[in-house]
Amino acid sequence: MGVVHGQEMVLNIGPQHPATHGVLRLQVKTDGEVISEITPYLGYLHRCFEKHCENVTYEQVIPFTDRCDYLASMTMNFGYVVAVEKLMDIKVNDRVQHIRVIMAELQRIASHLLATGVFGLDLGAFTPFLHMLRDRERIIDLFEMTCGARLLYNYMWVGGLSHDLPKGFVEATLNFLDYFEPKIDEFENLLGHNKIFVERTADIGIMPAEVAINFGVTGPNLRASGVNWDLRKDDPYSIYDKFDFNVPVGQGIKGTVGDSWDRFYVRLQEIRESVKIVRQALDQLPKDGDVHQSMPKKIRPPKGSIYSRTESPRGDLGYYIESDGSDTPSRLKMRSPAFTALGVLDEIAGGWLMSDVLAILGSLDIVLGEIDR
């Protein structure tokens, strides 16, 4: 296999580019069509999250966590309140726990729908995107019914929730799930087994397991590489140990384990698992229990620090909180899963063709708000 070396060319993608999912700049060095190096430039959406946290009280941090990962605000809230509750040693009642799990899993479905839809869009498939957004809207309606907001919810509070479930929520959710479950197969056929889509994703951008671990890649991207690692199973927080669900891992059905198609497929399978969890949680939902019951009057955690992590749709979401005993955190750091997922891009995209970069980037499912914070 002879290799012809041409002149090196430097190509700039972004920061305004429809396929970079926000404002990200990639500097791509290519040799002809083949990529030799990608340098991502971040920070176009650096909104000083950590500085804000040092200046506002613990309650006021929650809206800012919403705005970091705007595609999965519920799980961002969830991770934060779990961390603060651990730090303050608060136990919340069962109803709150169940509602939180329901919300987090619905959010996971919504986020994965958008992720897979936009992935298809990046590769030129417009119809699946519209179908997925249509169903995402229905989930958003459920959220709106609960807390009044469509995108940034500020729903989970330390020690409780902002509102209890509204009347008719359970029925509406069950209705939605009944409608939605057959649709997952439809999405799978529409996109997953589409010849063009398979050609462009299978065997492209392979991420071996040890590379993924070394680069700190987590979540569906790690699982697609064949590693069975899910914090909901391996380090259960909240009440995830009560539910029965599987952790889908990449199997290389269309190509090699850990290729872009696997990352897509793992997300699709996770949607199915989330549906299962929501059904169980709705089933077991305790009838009574005040959602404001264990909310502290004043949030002043004792001196100390904590690193707590939860599973967001993008991976291990960690919060490092250092408290000095006052009502504002003295340091709060978010370990964002998309940040590490983007870090691996150079490693796995090198050697592929120019047109594959966007396929690989799309398959990593990054959200710039969370990367830059």
Partner 1 sequence: MSEDIQLLIDDVVAKALAGDMDPINNIEDRVTRSKAKAALVKAKRSQPKTEIKSNASENSDVKAKDTIEQVVIASLSKNFSNFLDGEQNGEWIQIKAENWFEIAKHLKENENLYFDSLQCNTGFDLEGGMLESRYNLHSMKHLHAIEIRIKVSIENPDIPSVESLWRVADWFERETYDMFGINFTGHRDLRRILLPEDWEGWPLRKNYEEQETYHGIVVPKVKEGWE
Partner 2 sequence: MGLLENRFDDNIVVEKLDKLLSWARSTSPWFFQFGTACCAIEMMAAAASRHDLMRIGIIPRSSPRQADVMIVAGTVTMKMALRVKKLYEQMADPKYVVAMGSCATSGGPYWQHGYHVLKGVDLVIPVDVYVPGCPPRPEALIEGLLKLQEQILEGRPLTRKTG
Site for partner 1, rule CB under 8 A: 1, 42-43, 46, 48, 50-51, 54, 206-211, 213-216, 225-229, 234-235, 252, 256-259, 304-305, 307, 309, 316, 318, 320, 322, 331, 333, 335, 339-340, 343, 347-348, 350-352, 372-373
Q: Which is nearer to partner 1, 183 or 333 (CB)?
A: 333
133 makes contact with partner 2 (CB under 8 A): yes
**Nearest to residue 170, comparing CAs of 53, 22, 278?**
278
Residue 242, contacted partner among partner 2, partner 1, none, CB below 5-8 A by kind = none
Q: Which two tokens stand for residue 186?
A: 């439809």
112 makes contact with partner 2 (CB under 8 A): no
Q: Which is nearer to partner 1, 289 or 343 (CB)?
A: 343
Give Cα 16 distance to the centre of its chain. Answer: 23
Classify residue 163 by its DSSP letter: S
**Nearest to residue 322, comparing CAs of 26, 43, 58?**
58
Nearest-10 crossing angle of helices 260-284, 169-187: 160
Print the binding letters for residues 1-20 with partner 2: x by CB under 8 A, - otherwise. --------------xxxx--
To the nearest whole angstrom, how small is the minimum distance from the Cβ of residue 351 to partner 1?
Answer: 4
142 makes contact with partner 2 (CB under 8 A): no
Note whether 258 and 206 are within 8 A (CB). yes
CA distances, 104 to each of 81, 120, 197, 251 (Å): 13, 24, 29, 26
Q: Which is nearer to partner 2, 158 or 371 (CB)?
A: 371
Torsion over CA: 275, 280, 283, 284 (sign): negative
3-state secondary structure of 111: helix
| Cα separation, 277 vs 233, whole angstroms | 13
286 makes contact with partner 2 (CB under 8 A): no
Residue 223, contacted partner among partner 1, partner 2, none, CB below 5-8 A by kind = none
108 makes contact with partner 2 (CB under 8 A): no
Of positions 70, 94, 194, 320, contacts partner 2 by CB under 8 A: 70
Which region, judged by CB under 8 A, interacts with partner 2, from 59-67, 245-253, 279-287, 333-341?
59-67
Of positions 8, 33, 47, 228, contacts partner 2 by CB under 8 A: 47
Residue 339, contacted partner among partner 1, partner 2, none, CB below 5-8 A by kind = partner 1
Q: Which two tokens stand for residue 110?
A: 């919504």
Residue 52, contacted partner among partner 1, partner 2, none, CB below 5-8 A by kind = partner 2
Q: Which is nearer to partner 1, 197 or 339 (CB)?
A: 339
| Count, residues in the chain | 373
Q: Which residues contact 197 (CB under 8 A, 6 or more apart)?
A: 120, 123, 125, 191, 261
Residue 228, contacted partner among partner 1, partner 2, none, CB below 5-8 A by kind = partner 1
Of positions 130, 175, 210, 350, contacts partner 2 by CB under 8 A: 130
Question: Residue 295, CB half-sphere, CA atoms under 13 Å: how many?
Answer: 16
CA distances, 241 to each of 146, 160, 283, 287 (Å): 25, 20, 16, 20
Question: What are the residues binding partner 2 (CB under 8 A)?
Answer: 15-18, 22-23, 43-48, 51-52, 55, 63-64, 67, 70-71, 114, 129-131, 133-134, 137, 140, 150-152, 368-369
